[in-house]
Amino acid sequence: MFDAVLRGLRLIGRNVIDRIWRLGYASRFFAAVLMHSGTALRRYNLTIREIYFAGVLSLIIISVSGLFVGMVLGLQGYDTLQRYGSSDSLGVLVALSLVRELGPVVAGLLFASRAGSAITAEIGLMKATEQITAMEMMAVDPIARVVAPRFWGGVISMPLLAALFSALGVFGGWLVGVVLIGVDDGSFWAQMQAAVDFRQDIVNGVIKSAVFGMAVAWIAVFEGYDAIPTAEGVSRATTRTVVTSSLAILALDFVLTAFMFRGI
């Protein structure tokens, strides 16, 4: 009995130490990526290529999701607002929900599943097939050549994707609210313009999406670089990227929201 308790405690202790060690390792890795970012930014072609893979190739999923989320917001928002006779405020509801929350968060979650997993799988497989070691043997630093461009590609793409998500969401809300249901076009846009504050709402939304982009890109490159170089190891790393980034986005969203909108 005593032994079983002791074993249990030991297991918990070891797991906690392992996680803290891994967090420390990931932070050192993050510092190394930042330190080696000079090459990635100087040789911008490398980063542009990664923006294409992480950003441009995510356009379809982001656009379609943004449009549909906006359309659903339009339907649900109208249903609720018309009970209080304020269906003219539909534009405000759709826009604020999107630029403050749904845009950065949902785009972040989609970005983690679409681009984050791809980055992890690519780096992990490069490691498993000795491409990373080959690069080191050729005196080329893989953190500067492989990791940093992918990191910055993700960081730059994410706010743009979130902005696009919100824009298409507003369009979707307008499509359903104004074109289908018949809410007044003028009040839809005028109320939105009056109620959405550039600094408070839009800039804060962009800051959120930039932070999420950095978190997802960091997790994705770290998991790929740290993957056990086997088929199973890479598959586990890819799963970890999606799970950890999604949780990180939700947790960071709470923290950022608490700081940004506490006065309202």
Chain residues binding another protein by CB under 8 A are 126, 129-131, 133-141, 145
Q: How far is the CB of 35 from another protein (least distance, A)?
A: 12
* Cα separation values, 43 from 47, 92, 214, Å: 7, 43, 20
3-class DSSP state of 167:
helix
Distance, CA of 183 to chain centre? 33
Could you give the CA distance from residue 205 to residue 104 in angstroms, rounded to a whole number? 6
CB of 140 to another protein, least distance (A): 5
Please compute, for residue 68, the number of CA atoms within 13 A of its CA located in the half-sphere on the CB side.
8
At residue 262, what are phi and psi to the nearest 5 degrees?
Answer: -70, -25
**CB of 163 vs another protein, minimal distance in Å:** 29
Nearest distance from C-beta of residue 99 to another protein, angstroms: 36
Q: Which is nearer to another protein, 137 or 258 (CB)?
A: 137
**Residues 75 and 174: beta-carbon distance below 8 Å:** no
Between 48 and 195, whose beta carbon lies closer to another protein?
A: 48
* Angle between helix 117-128 and helix 231-260 axes, rounded to 10 deg: 150
| CA dist., res. 67 & res. 90, Å (int) | 16
- In the complex, minimum distance from the CB of residue 124 to another protein, in angstroms, rounded to a whole number: 13
Task: State which residue, 142 or 213, has the beta carbon closest to another protein.
Answer: 142
Tell me the residue length of the chain. Answer: 264
CA 77, chain centre distance (Å): 25
142 or 169, CB closer to another protein? 142
Cα–Cα distance for residue pair 248/258, rounded to 1 Å:
15
CB 229 to another protein: min, Å: 12
> Which lies closer to another protein via its Cβ, residue 29 or residue 189?
29
Q: CB-wise, 184 or 229, nearer to another protein?
A: 229
Q: Cβ 13 to another protein, closest distance in Å?
A: 20
Burial class (CB in 10 A: 0-12, 13-18, 19+), 58: buried
Q: Please check whether residue 202 is in contact with residue 210, taking contact to mean a CB–CB distance below 8 angstroms.
A: no
Based on CB atoms, which residue is closest to another protein, 15 or 129? 129
Other residues' Cβ atoms within 10 Å of the Cβ of residue 203: 13
